[in-house]
Amino acid sequence: MTTPGDPLEYMSASRLKSFLTCRLRFFYEKVLQLPTPTTPNLQIGKAVHAGLEALHKAKWAGELPTTPDILQAYQESYSALEEQDAVDYGQKSREDCLETGERTLRAYLESDLVTDPRPIRGVEAYLRREPDELPIPLVGVVDLVRDNTPIDFKTVGSTPDLREEAWSHELQMTCYFLLLADATGELPGQAELVYLVKTKTPKVIRHQLPSVDLIQLERFKRLTDVYVEGNQRQEYFPSPGMHCRWCSFRSRCRAWGKVAA
Ligand code: SF4
């Protein structure tokens, strides 16, 4: 029997990354599913993604959406997301955040990428691979599939160092490779990351990653074994480090070791 937070029901790039970064935070976030505050950056990122989804779905359906259509979809999603999860704006103003996202989305709409001639084969494509050489099902949602290429959008605050980014997204890209290969029966193309940089003058940067190689596939497989075995043994312990800066479970974490966490 499984529960909504059962970590062995399936694995995803997000679950793997969370587990491998800090098992205690993974336990709070993915197993207990404790609520985490929605930051302004997260809110902007989600709403921009919703605008991109509206654009690509319309194009996939053979429509010709205008910029006002997509900006309206963005604004409606922004409000709907706020209703679902309250945003902790802190010192930031809602209007500034809304405007930042709109400016960023507009930059994409005015970029060459919007007229990419490759056919769209999926938008927010939910993919699931049943256990084979992997120990439990693998799932993932790919933002956009053009031809047989997975494309992922990242909304970021500053210009990324592309070599670092390719390294830090290895798990996600290997996951998409395995999912897409399974779904299509074809060898996926080189994955692409598209950065939407939320600077005052926003930038759009397309980064094509190297092909997934056999070593990455083997690393992925071994890490999935670590994930399954660690969860079977319920090994949830803190791993203090730089990532604690963005963790909202610090007070709970502090109690670990004194009382049952
Ligand atoms: S504060 Fe750090 S060590 Fe503790 S749960 Fe969060 S990420 Fe893990």
* Predicted confidence (pLDDT) per residue in 198-240, tens digit: 999 999 999 999 999 999 999 999 999 999 999 999 999 999 9
- The Cα-based distances of 242 to 21, 132, 211, 245, 250 in angstroms read 10, 35, 29, 6, 13
Does 111 or 260 have the greater pLDDT score? 111
Q: How far apart are CA 232 and CA 223, in angstroms?
A: 14
The model carries a pTM of 0.92
Mean pLDDT in the chain? 94
Q: Is the CB of 151 under 6 A from ligand 1?
A: no
How confident is the model at residue 165, as a pLDDT?
83
- Residue 2's pLDDT band, with cuts at 50, 70 and 90, is very low
* Predicted confidence (pLDDT) per residue in 107-128, tens digit: 999 999 999 999 999 999 999 9
80-94, 159-173, 178-192, 197-211: which has the minimum mean pLDDT? 159-173
| Ligand 1, atom 5, residue with closest C-alpha | 25
CA of 253 to the centre of ligand 1 (A): 6
Q: Is the CB of 239 under 6 A from ligand 1?
A: yes
Is the confidence at residue 245, as pLDDT, over 60? yes
One-letter amino acid of 112:
D
Is the confidence at residue 4, as pLDDT, over 70? no
Closest by CA to 142, choosing from 187, 191, 108, is 191
Q: How far apart are CA 231 and CA 256, in angstroms?
A: 18
Q: Are 209 and 191 in contact (CB under 8 A)?
A: yes
* Predicted confidence (pLDDT) per residue in 42-100, tens digit: 999 999 999 999 999 999 999 999 999 999 999 999 999 999 999 999 999 999 999 99
How confident is the model at residue 120, as a pLDDT?
97
**Ligand 1 atom nearest to CA at 238:** 3
Q: Which residues contact 175 (CB under 8 A, 6 or more apart)?
A: 12, 13, 16, 138, 140, 220
CA of 85 to the centre of ligand 1 (A): 23
- Residue 189's pLDDT band, with cuts at 50, 70 and 90, is very high
Topology (CATH) of 13-232: Lambda Exonuclease; Chain A (3.90.320)
Average pLDDT over residues 23-43: 95
Tell me the domain boundaries of the chain: 13-232
Q: Is the CB of 107 under 6 A from ligand 1?
A: no
Q: How far apart are CA 248 and CA 261, in angstroms?
A: 15
Q: Is the CB of 176 under 6 A from ligand 1?
A: no
- Residue 260's pLDDT band, with cuts at 50, 70 and 90, is low
Q: How far apart are CA 176 and CA 84, in angstroms?
A: 28
Q: Report DSSP letters for the chain, one per residue.
A: ---TT-TTT-B-HHHHHHHHH-HHHHIIIIIS----PBPHHHHHHHHHHHHHHHHHHHHHTT----HHHHHHHHHHHHHHHHHHS-B--TTS-HHHHHHHHHHHHHHHHTSGGGG--SPEEEEEEEEEE-SSSSSS-EEEEEEEEETTEEEEEEEESS---HHHHHHHTHHHHHHHHHHHHHHHSSPPPPPEEEEEE-SSS-EEEEEEPPPP-HHHHHHHHHHHHHHHHHHHTT------SGGGGG-S-HHHHHTBTTB--
How confident is the model at residue 82, as a pLDDT?
95
Is the confidence at residue 196, as pLDDT, over 70? yes
Closest by CA to 109, choosing from 154, 54, 156, is 54
CA of 168 to the centre of ligand 1 (A): 19
Q: Is the CB of 19 under 6 A from ligand 1?
A: no
Average pLDDT over residues 147-153: 96
Q: Are 247 and 253 in contact (CB under 8 A)?
A: yes
| Ligand 1, atom 4, residue with closest C-alpha | 253
- Residue 1's pLDDT band, with cuts at 50, 70 and 90, is very low
